[in-house]
Chain A
Amino acid sequence: MNKTSTKLQSENVYITYPLKNGGEVTAVEDFNLTVEEGEFVCIVGPSGCGKSTVLGAVAGFHDISYGSLYLDGKEITGAGRDRGVVFQDASLFPWRTALGNIIYGLEVAGVPKSERQKKGDELLELVGLNSFGSHYPNQLSGGMQQRVNVARALAIEPSLMLLDEPFGALDAQTREFMQLELLRIWKATKQTILFVTHDIAEAVYLSDHVVVMTARPGKLLEKVKIDLPRPRPLEIKRSKEFTEYEKYIWDLIVTEKQKNVV
């Protein structure tokens, strides 16, 4: 048994939204999850299941209504630099170069310029954009923009990385390649990652654990341990074990959906 410390803990978390007519809607219900240090955990579920809402709450973008969220044993009360967020649409500052975007967090944290520069160059190298540091976002492809997005989150050396469907808008080939790259970066940085996606194959390929959520109100249906060897080449997606995981999770979601329809 490996001795690991708990990175993220979610206890009985409820998240509700007020409605215009005065009522409220429960987006996430009784959500319990533990993420260990160094783990790669994906949350999957049908659209509207509240998976991004969970991520947003961990990021500190919105409050939870009940329960508690702990990061490194400390309760999460708002946004902070101990979490690195990789946004769905790259959300890069269009007036900053790739390098300028990457070092944004360091700049805001008041890290001296020479140090920022050094860190920025290292990260450009890590995400494979060595010669693109002075390019503006509109001169970069979608995949490159997401690399900058990932590097920007890594720059502040967060305790936990939060990725919200970062490859959703990319074409299929770029997406697969970016998944491979992300695993490489994850291994190199030894980060803990919480990753939201609606793509089951993506979740199985990347994760140690896949968290399956039900739709409205979002509940944790099952936490599936993915026992595939690492490093995982892309070919693993064609293996029998892989497709079995995929089918298992797919069935979970579909059965749950049918229950709701009936």
Chain B
Amino acid sequence: MENLKSAEQKIAPALNNPIASLNLKKKKKTSFYDTFLFRHIGLITFITVLILWELIYRSGIVNPVFLSSPVQIVKVGYQLTLSGVLVENLLFTLRNFITGFLLAAVSGVFIGLIMGWYKPIGKAFDPFLTAMLGTPRIVLLPLITLWVGVGFASKVLVVFLAGIFPIILNTMIGVKNLDPNLTRVAKAFGASPIQTFITVALPGAMPQIVSGLRVGIGQSLVGVIAAEMFVSTGGIGYFVAQSSANFNVDRVFVGIVVIIITGMLITQSVKWIESYLLKHRID
């Protein structure tokens, strides 16, 4: 009797809703998209590539002068961290980068707001903006070293110039595309031009400003590394270039990995800043 009852319970859903029960049967055969493999396919691929890489390295097919291996990178990276070389270079780079980028962010947003708000000014300086956006700013490096030498200032200036133009452009577009209804609200409530600027233009352009910062930060990072590779006596870019000149391929790879991780961390922090600044967009 008990058995019968439980059997009845089992088929009850099928009797009540035959179509749903069919789907249920289908689902028993786990689809590929539900498997462990699919969910972690990115990580699995990554590890597989690392293993293949290690195997190729160990097989000796490639001359070890030209290639490092994951294990080698970790080993050398660990030693370099302990000796403080890596941290020292990284801090050197970050100092250049943060100084230059903060300057670029503040002045870029400011200039962009002005250029977007006062159309004649925007139009007047548009040719410069177009010229600079189409050019890899690193071409200015020889000129910069000529003017300010190879010290701190030159790297800060490169970072600044690399980052500022996309920030200006995006901020300007953001201000130009402001909802005219909202500027009318400010007018209706008797806001002065400066008040309108602060209460409507700045927050209204914020989504574009943030995307400008995101582009700018990437380009500033390129700028600082490139500058260090060419004209510097420190920094992670210098470390990579120097290691390459000394045929120390392990160190080159360590440097590259550090740059990759730094880049990823910076991108992630931009996402945090973004979600903070644009919190009204999230439901």
Contacts and interface: CB of A to CB of B under 8 A. Distances in A.
Interface in B171-197: 179, 181-182, 184-192, 195
Contact of B199 (A60, A79, A80, A107): A107
A81 B280 contact: no
Q: Which of B188, B190, B280, B281 has the most CB of A within 10 A?
A: B188
A87 B203 contact: no
B189 A95 contact: no
Contact of B190 (A80, A91, A96, A138): A80
A137 B181 CA distance: 15
A104 B190 CA distance: 10
B206 interface: yes
Interface string A68-110: 0000000000011101010101010111110000001101110
A61 B187 contact: yes
A99 to B, nearest CB: 13
Interface in A126-146: 136-139
Contacts of A83: 188
Contacts of A137: 280
B188 A93 contact: no
A104 B283 contact: no
A41 interface: no
A104 B195 CA distance: 11
Contact of A108 (B181, B195, B283): B195
| Contact count band on B | 20 to 34
Interface in B191-217: 191-192, 195, 199-200, 203-204, 206
A57 B43 CA distance: 63
A193 B61 CA distance: 86
A61 B184 contact: yes
Given A91-B182, A138-B280, A109 B190 contact: yes
B199 A138 contact: no
B181 A91 contact: yes
Contacts of B195: 108
Contacts of A61: 184, 187-188
B189 A139 contact: no
A79 B185 contact: no
Contacts of B181: 87, 89, 91
Contacts of B191: 108
Interface in B219-243: none
Q: Which of A91, A97, A156 has the most CB of B within 10 A?
A: A91
B190 A81 contact: yes
Interface in B237-283: 280-281, 283
B280 A108 contact: no
B185 A91 contact: yes
B200 to A, nearest CB: 7
A124 interface: no
A59 interface: yes
B236 to A, nearest CB: 38
Contacts of A80: 190
Nearest to B206: A95
Contacts of A91: 179, 181-182, 184-185
A138 B188 CA distance: 22
Contacts of B184: 61, 87, 91
Contacts of A93: 182, 185, 199-200, 203-204
A85 B190 CA distance: 11
A104 B199 CA distance: 9
Contacts of A109: 189-190
A1 B171 CA distance: 60
Given A89-B181, A91-B181, A138-B283, A104 B188 contact: no
Nearest to A100: B280
Contacts of B281: 94, 138
A94 B179 CA distance: 11
Given A93-B200, A95-B206, A138-B281, A87 B189 contact: no
Interface of A: 59-61, 79-81, 83, 85, 87, 89, 91, 93-97, 104-105, 107-109, 136-139, 156
The 6 closest A-B CB pairs, nearest first, are A105-B189, A81-B190, A85-B188, A91-B181, A136-B280, A108-B191
29 contacts: A59-B188, A61-B188, A83-B188, A91-B179, A91-B181, A91-B182, A91-B184, A91-B185, A93-B182, A93-B199, A93-B200, A93-B203, A93-B204, A94-B280, A95-B280, A96-B280, A104-B185, A104-B199, A105-B189, A108-B189, A108-B190, A108-B192, A109-B189, A109-B190, A137-B280, A138-B280, A138-B281, A138-B283, A139-B283
Given A85-B185, A104-B189, 4 more contacts: A87-B185, A94-B281, A108-B186, A156-B189
